[in-house]
Structure 1
């Protein structure tokens, strides 16, 4: 199939299929009543739902003019549905609620004039808190105390099975290849495809967070480690309501390691102010919503100590403290309009703007003679902003669970980053300036169709996404400039994605099966300035891939469920991983992308079990991942400049690796006032030997040796309900040492505590929290490069105390 036909195929499906199925905690039952002899619909038939044990009627309704009935907002359990009409025999069926599909179409029900034995039918609709534990874990932020008043990252620290790296990225089961969604959709706030750090997203207006380890085919195929879905608050009450909040904090209260001798040093006792508001006004047909958060703070997002041990005997230490002053404002809002009982349209938008100024003074000290060889001072001024607009339309057919939806979204992003560099050494005294200006345009269009069936659910959908990201690079070179020559002045990156999927869920009383297939066609191009001397040609490629997903769940009994999963996923490098312009915050440890980087593909299998009892539950899972074409940063010496010791950190594909592990999540109510949750994740990473070639700034080979290591993480949270409307929480977490390409990451740990008290007749809360009490969560790595080894220590800001207040109206 040529490229034109592929595009035509995807667009045709996109036009033909135009539901976003939201998570529900209750079940819905629907059907149509007919007269058996004439097959005509029967209006005004009485439909009752009774308890099995007592035959007591729970709820009821009558059929409409077409014979259709719908029972909604039903709790899970065992029922008998009873349908009666004058002149016809009463119809009774047993309903067993206990699976995943929460909307059920009983189809056509025929009433007879004579009595006849009725066969039992089964409908499966598990409680969300039980079913979700096998394929989705949901966490309410109202229950989070120890990290209250902070960011989404802080809030997620208590969540079982979740870890983080120093860039604020979510790590699931040892990998940061995670997709972060906002209200079920990819967003500029969290990144399209590759996640952006979430450490600067306030948690004040977040309702809950979902973690999906094995996504179905209806989700985009990227993110082999899983999906994190951040759900914003949205009031359902009529009238005007919402909440306002204010959080104040102090960060970097103690030092893990003393600063190297410079005039600047690193920031400490950093003030933080986070006000937030959430407004909602709902009438019968229209709902208006508006949320905004501000961050005004000083921070230390990085504080990198690097000790380099060269094979010639020299030992050089440097420290790069990223002293930041930051202002950020996020505004989200929109309107839901109910066109009719069956049609709804939502217009929404988001504005996100951040400005920060970073300053740093970096001394390079030769530890052999305690002489400072170089003093490097820099200032970064950066403005980033995103404007997002979307429209979503949903049509519900007469039958419950039968829907058609369409969504269109446009995002414009801006990154304007300037570095002012001052360099003083025996080699040169000079100044340089660099500026990167990137303007991103992303458009996406999707349609989703869902239909509830008597024994399951069918889902179909299509999506197209177009991204353009041109980058302009400006350099003002000083005397004997340290900036690489002939980098060029621009690059242009684009990505087109076309996808279709089908997903089918079959549910029976004792088991359910979900199977889906997603097909994606991806086109990528990266255009370089002809003046660039480091890469010979522009790069472009396209590929068509299939991504199957399968889940089988067997209900052993009411308390035990066993599931098996398989899925195939992809992780595509984004423009930041491809960007050819180095970052000069540390002139002797330069981070740079690779325009020839390729995607990595992963096959995952998992077997999971959940056992629940009245006061707790135990979840366990064994998983295995095969990763092909994995990519990460490679450390390599650049010896082309005899005056400086430069190490490049370059993204590179590194072949095949595996990740095998075992995860346990445990929850128990110890007493009425004490709840304990804990998790442990033990895994083995195997990185196969690999030899590759780096092209920047000159061609040279690198070698990764075969490594195998066992690693893990442990987390425990104790929550106490105390007198006087007071709640307390303490969380401890520990990450073991683990192997990384070219080295090892050392162990780290943290203890967090928090208190929350209800005030003003439970309309308000006050909170006090402290994270990383003993300042032990910094990142440490040992690097084994060619012709050198290094100890990399990043003691960024993890120790923070916060006080907050919130009022609901």
Structure 2
């Protein structure tokens, strides 16, 4: 009841504020004298038969400017009498205008404002204006776009945008390959994403969360085909409108959409030596209603790996050592299917709905040979054959309503979402006395069924205050239910006791954000967000005492534009990171009994203060960005490893104490001869980790510098040919209890577009100069050391084919910004490094039985 009251109170405050903002002028307060100069108020008391229409275009690219604000102002009273926004063709139209003399005021974020005088309406005047051009102005909030043939990078006041649709080397791949090319991001060989040295990144898809993302970001990225990605937004300093979660920031993946009239069907396929893919995407739009349907499947095969793991230490004064040799073979299958619908209810309101289902079928077979010695006891040789099954299904349902109010860019929206991920994570092992023996000694295994469910409702209100100011506020409620049930079996020993985790988490939030742009080209965006979290958790039959908590998180973004195309930005924000289910799940994964992993349901959230200073410069075809950042995290959630009497290493998670990062990023882009583009950058940061544990074996600290770099080149050739190349390298990574060596990834692709532009065929190759890539990991604690050598066989070649059927045309209806829920408030991921043998994260909730 207390949870419900808290959420109801916060959401009621948001609704009351919206209601107050929409009151007639003067309601609830003493009446003032009528103003003769209120540019933000529309006077529509007098209507007529006049009409004004036109088209707005970008002065540089000559492309239509979508969502530009258009106000018709009475010259006599200086009051707006009507307003509109441009559609996806840059067109606007205002009807039923009374007789009189008017001026037209045009504006849009990222462009200089414009005024057109002497518009006279007389009787049934129908005025069709010539094309109107707006000039980009970097003083505004929107994009400072890299000039050049492909415009790969855009910079905005709080984010960087990477336009992935221009990349041909990722054709046939998945989102993991795209993310590796985004400035400031680092993606390891297992697909785990980090931003400026922190894996505490929230990943959204079209501003929406998904329970599969809460379970595993690496797995979720494999479900998104690269061909479907339009752009990737890296939000390093989120405003108060975003959930407080995501210590390092937010990554928003924008997929391609169809908003035109008519019907199309896109076909994409690819095949290679390590995988194949097939995708179909269709869209149909007529009048004010549109539908889209898509399906995508990808399989992976011939994915091999070898490992050599040595761990040594002293337990109770007795030395021990364990050496393991592993051979693994993995296969996987991913599918993603979606159905979307949207409709313009009126000229000012619209509704959207979508259903998405994603499925995963991942299997791994691994042979583990172990030589175990403890003190003077004779060495013991054993062998096990392990099969791991990881299956999941995810459904996301969204229904969103948006209404545009009287003023341009003033709107109110109600966003809802239901998301559920069911997951099965099992392993079975056959045990032998040695690698040369065929005698089966016994079997053991683990069954872990779980689910992760979220229900969300969100209210948002946005409104301009004056010509250069705007305000946003709203409320949000998130209701999460997690259930993980696990059992064990063994024919050799007494199996571990079965248990379960039931974890309910509810979050109520409200926010306020204010933006202003000054005449001297300063832009300020300030805000604050309050979130209150309640938790009710039970492990087995025992209730967990996890306190409720509230957090106030402020954010400040400031930008200044100078002459010569240079922009300077400064930002501060406080971020919050709640542990996701993969960190909480107490299921013991012992597929490799010498390296087991288990979650920690007693984890607390981590708090981070982040500071950023950046400067960018562009001129003609050259763009350069340089940024400095500092991040201080308390209660940081990190991997913690301990050893048992028998030398078994257990990996779990803990709030270690403190983590600090100080670093710099520099990247740039240049276009030569209008055909050749070269881009790249370097990221470097210093990291310091300190454990506050009283346990002598855990009390440790570590520090060092981590650096990475990337380069990208693209050449456009005659007759539809194109060539692209990419390379990425990362140096040694610093962990709390050790480090891992660096790695490199590179690719080369070529594409030929058909003459009618309806299709293309291409070929790409990855890591083609070496058969395998070797990666070393060294872990050091006061009680043991562990050295792992893993060979990854990543050489690959694939051929891709795509074709488009049908024909689309622009309509005259304005296409509006589609809004949706985004729950960016749970820490997900985890590096999954169990040390030697099976390299796998602690099992995450995402499948299993519903609770009664």
TM-score normalized with structure 1 length:
0.83
Task: Spell out, residue by residue over 1:112-154, the C-alpha distance to the aligned partner (whole angstroms, 9 max, x if none).
Answer: xxxxxxxxxx994654526734522222232112222101001
- Cα offset for 1:411? 1.7
- Cα offset for 1:660? 0.5
* 1:147/1:753 contact within 8 Å kept: no
Distance 1:490 1:705, change over 3 A: closer
* 1:46/1:62 contact within 8 Å kept: no
Larger RCO (CA under 8 A, 6+ residues apart)? 2
Q: Does 1:636 align with 2:648?
A: no
Distance 1:148 1:194, change over 3 A: closer
Match of 2:767 among 769, 772, 786: 772
Match of 2:300 among 285, 292, 297: 297
Match of 1:787 among 783, 806, 810: 783
Q: Distance in 2 between matches of 1:377 and 1:209?
A: 41
Summarize the alignment of residues 357-506 of structure 1 with structure 2, pairs less than 5 Å apart. 357-365=363-371, 373-425=381-433, 429-453=441-465, 454-481=467-494, 483=495, 485-486=496-497, 488-506=498-516
- Cα offset for 1:593? 0.8
* 1:678/1:717 contact within 8 Å kept: yes
Q: Does 1:761 align with 2:767?
A: no
Task: Spell out, residue by residue over 1:686-738, the C-alpha distance to the aligned partner (whole angstroms, 9 max, x if none).
Answer: 12353245xxxxxxx53343333122111111111223321111112111113
Q: Distance in 2 between matches of 1:105 and 1:31?
A: 15
* 1:193/1:572 contact within 8 Å kept: no
Summarize the alignment of residues 283-682 of structure 1 with structure 2, pairs less than 5 Å apart. 283-298=286-301, 300=303, 304-311=307-314, 315-365=321-371, 373-425=381-433, 429-453=441-465, 454-481=467-494, 483=495, 485-486=496-497, 488-509=498-519, 510-530=521-541, 538-639=544-645, 642=646, 645-682=647-684
Tell me whether 786-795 or 619-628 shows the greater mean CA deviation.
786-795
Q: Distance in 2 between matches of 1:294 and 1:719?
A: 28
Task: Spell out, residue by residue over 1:198-230, the C-alpha distance to the aligned partner (whole angstroms, 9 max, x if none).
Answer: 234322322222111111111111111111111
Q: Distance in 1 between matches of 2:359 and 2:2?
A: 42
* 1:161/1:173 contact within 8 Å kept: yes
Q: Distance in 2 between matches of 1:332 and 1:92?
A: 42
Task: Spell out, residue by residue over 1:150-189, the C-alpha distance to the aligned partner (whole angstroms, 9 max, x if none).
Answer: 0100122222222113431211111111111011111134
* 2:388/2:427 contact within 8 Å kept: yes
* 2:341/2:352 contact within 8 Å kept: yes
* 1:171/1:178 contact within 8 Å kept: yes
Summarize the alignment of residues 65-80 of structure 1 with structure 2, pairs less than 5 Å apart. 67-70=81-84, 72=86
- Cα offset for 1:292? 1.0
Q: Distance in 1 between matches of 2:395 and 2:676?
A: 44
Q: Distance in 2 between matches of 1:231 and 1:50?
A: 25
* 2:174/2:222 contact within 8 Å kept: yes
- Cα offset for 1:301? 8.2
* 2:46/2:98 contact within 8 Å kept: no
Tell me whether 162-171 or 273-282 shows the greater mean CA deviation.
162-171
Q: Distance in 2 between matches of 1:729 and 1:766?
A: 14
Correspondence for 1:803: 799
SS at match of 2:204: strand
Q: Distance in 2 between matches of 1:184 and 1:428?
A: 52
Task: Spell out, residue by residue over 1:745-771, the C-alpha distance to the aligned partner (whole angstroms, 9 max, x if none).
Answer: 212222221112111422111121122
Give unmatched runs, 5+ long, in structure 2. Answer: 19-38, 60-64, 91-96, 122-136, 147-153, 806-852
Tell me whether 428-437 or 236-245 shows the greater mean CA deviation.
428-437
Q: Distance in 2 between matches of 1:370 and 1:132?
A: 63
* 1:657/1:688 contact within 8 Å kept: yes
- Cα offset for 1:676? 0.7
Q: Does 1:727 align with 2:730?
A: no
- Cα offset for 1:803? 1.2
Distance 1:464 1:492, change over 3 A: same
* 1:548/1:568 contact within 8 Å kept: yes
- Cα offset for 1:371? 7.6
Q: Distance in 1 between matches of 2:57 and 2:481?
A: 58
* 1:496/1:522 contact within 8 Å kept: yes
Q: Distance in 1 between matches of 2:114 and 2:581?
A: 44
SS at match of 1:191: helix
Tell me whether 760-769 or 441-450 shows the greater mean CA deviation.
760-769
Task: Spell out, residue by residue over 1:618-666, the C-alpha distance to the aligned partner (whole angstroms, 9 max, x if none).
Answer: 1110100011001111121111xx4xx3110111111012100011011
SS at match of 1:159: coil
Q: Distance in 2 between matches of 1:104 and 1:522?
A: 47
Correspondence for 1:129: 145
Q: Does 1:221 align with 2:244?
A: yes
* 1:623/1:660 contact within 8 Å kept: yes
Q: Distance in 1 between matches of 2:270 and 2:788?
A: 33
Q: Distance in 2 between matches of 1:439 and 1:345?
A: 30
Match of 1:749 among 730, 744, 752: 744
* 1:392/1:405 contact within 8 Å kept: yes
Distance 1:562 1:301, change over 3 A: farther
Correspondence for 2:284: 281
- Count of matched residue positions in the alignment of Structure 1 and Structure 2: 730
Tell me whether 371-380 or 213-222 shows the greater mean CA deviation.
371-380
Q: Distance in 2 between matches of 1:318 and 1:102?
A: 65
Distance 1:448 1:581, change over 3 A: same
Summarize the alignment of residues 88-107 of structure 1 with structure 2, pairs less than 5 Å apart. 100=110
Q: Distance in 2 between matches of 1:505 and 1:303?
A: 54
Match of 1:683 among 666, 669, 685: 685
Summarize the alignment of residues 150-299 of structure 1 with structure 2, pairs less than 5 Å apart. 150-191=173-214, 197-251=220-274, 272-298=275-301
* 1:404/1:448 contact within 8 Å kept: yes
SS at match of 1:160: coil
Distance 1:280 1:321, change over 3 A: farther
Q: Distance in 2 between matches of 1:74 and 1:298?
A: 42
SS at match of 2:145: helix
Correspondence for 1:12: 12
- Cα offset for 1:670? 2.9
Task: Spell out, residue by residue over 1:65-102, the C-alpha distance to the aligned partner (whole angstroms, 9 max, x if none).
Answer: 992133536999xxxxxxx99775x7587x787x5599
* 2:307/2:327 contact within 8 Å kept: yes
* 1:33/1:41 contact within 8 Å kept: no
Q: Distance in 1 between matches of 2:518 and 2:655?
A: 44
- Cα offset for 1:601? 0.8
Q: Distance in 1 between matches of 2:509 and 2:218?
A: 20
Match of 2:710 among 715, 740, 743: 715
Task: Spell out, residue by residue over 1:419-461, the C-alpha distance to the aligned partner (whole angstroms, 9 max, x if none).
Answer: 2122233899221232111122211111111113411221112
Tell me whether 544-553 or 786-795 shows the greater mean CA deviation.
786-795
Distance 1:684 1:91, change over 3 A: same
Distance 1:504 1:545, change over 3 A: same
- Cα offset for 1:14? 5.4
